Amino acid sequence: MVHSDSKQLIQSYIIQSQEDEIKRISLELHEGVGQNLYSILTGLQLVETGLNQPHLINYLREMTQLIEKTIQEIRLLSVELHPPALTTLGLLPAIKSYIKLYTSTFGVLVDLESIGEEKQLSEQNRVAVFRVCQEALTNIAKHADTSNVKMSLIWKENELKIMIVDFGGGFAADGIEINPFSLGIAAMKERMLLTGGHCVISSKIGEGTSVEISLPL
């Protein structure tokens, strides 16, 4: 029992350390590299106003566009690593922001509903739930062969329940242990167990897959 408790603590510590590092890199990208590139962009735009040779103006415009694309990619990468909304605004705004990015990346539409009043979660639990949802949505983009997902957040007095249902091909749940993506599923379950919650995945070939996450409040 003592051994299992310390194993859980070590797992939590490893996950927390990784999350801290991801958050640091995300902030460095957004606040450091991103800001510097933005300063270069405004500088180039200023230089352009002083030029009168058409070929130089064209060249500068191309460079400006390249920097714009790089700034956008840095911003998306930063949000993908650790959405700032997760720390500042909470779980629901972070999920909404991620879904926008998810649809524009994979073309899969997510119908999101939140029932009940959003409750405050500890940052550790917020991050855990967010990562499990992120993994579930990524699995759908990779394997489900579907264009639509339904995601419901149900805020109860003592529990948060999240249902993610795709309408895709599904898979045979019995063969899952030998599938490489089962490690991802095992990680989702383990991550929720560490928060004191649960993650249950059910699927049938031809009937899609549902992921049910629950977290005590």
Q: Is 52 in the site for another protein (CB under 8 A)?
A: no
Helices 2-27 and 182-194: angle between axes, nearest 10 degrees: 100
Residue whose CB is less far from another protein, 7 or 142? 142
Q: In the sheet that 159-166 helps form, which strands lie side by side, from edge to edge?
A: 109-115, 148-155, 159-166, 208-216, 198-204
Q: Quote the CA–CA distance of 68 and 37 in Å, as a whole number.
A: 8
Give the residue, chosen from 25, 33, 40, 141, that forms a contact with another protein under the rule CB under 8 A. 141
Cα separation values, 86 from 109, 145, 168, 184, Å: 21, 29, 29, 22
- Least distance from another protein to the Cβ atom of residue 5, Å: 35
Give the residue, chosen from 28, 31, 68, 207, that forms a contact with another protein under the rule CB under 8 A. 68
Burial of 128 (0-12, 13-18, 19+ CB in 10 A): buried
Q: Quote the CA–CA distance of 196 and 178 in Å, as a whole number.
A: 27
Q: Is 188 in the site for another protein (CB under 8 A)?
A: no
Residue whose CB is less far from another protein, 140 or 192? 140
- Least distance from another protein to the Cβ atom of residue 91, Å: 22
- Least distance from another protein to the Cβ atom of residue 118, Å: 27
Q: Please give the span between the terminal C-alpha atoms of the chain, in angstroms, as a whole number.
A: 25
- Least distance from another protein to the Cβ atom of residue 74, Å: 10
Q: Is 100 in the site for another protein (CB under 8 A)?
A: no
Q: Is 25 in the site for another protein (CB under 8 A)?
A: no
- Applying CB under 8 A, the residues found at the interface with another protein are 58, 62, 65, 68-70, 72-73, 76, 103-109, 138, 141-142, 145, 147
